[in-house]
Amino acid sequence: MENFKTLASFFKALGEENRLRILKALKEGELSVGDLVIRLEISQPLVSHHLRELKLANLVKSRKEGPYVFYQLKTSKIFELIRLAKSLTEETNA
């Protein structure tokens, strides 16, 4: 039987604009929380909150180096799904 609850949680993690912006930034490579704050121009607590949600959805992973935490994508396949979603929204809005 399909686990719709897990799937719904996964899509919920993608259902926020700043999380999509974080994923796009991480597509270029590993970044620290501070790097993301500067790039996205949003507060550190908000970046940390969104990273926590993305981590719970198994979309990103982290490593600690001294006082810094660095994040990277677990897989770039997420962008295949994002491309498909963009295509669907363009098609349905036409």
So what's the pLDDT on residue 5?
87
To the question of domain 4-92 being in CATH 1.10.3720.10, the answer is: no
- pLDDT by residue, tens only, the chain of 94 residues: 578 888 888 899 999 999 999 999 999 999 999 999 999 999 999 999 999 999 999 999 999 999 999 999 999 999 999 999 999 988 888 7
Residue 66's pLDDT is what? Answer: 96
Q: What is the per-residue pLDDT for 52?
A: 97
Helix (H) or strand (E) holding 37: helix 33-40
What pLDDT was estimated at residue 46? 98
Q: Which pair of structure tokens corresponds to residue 43?
A: 């507060």
What's the first-to-final CA gap in the chain, in angstroms?
35
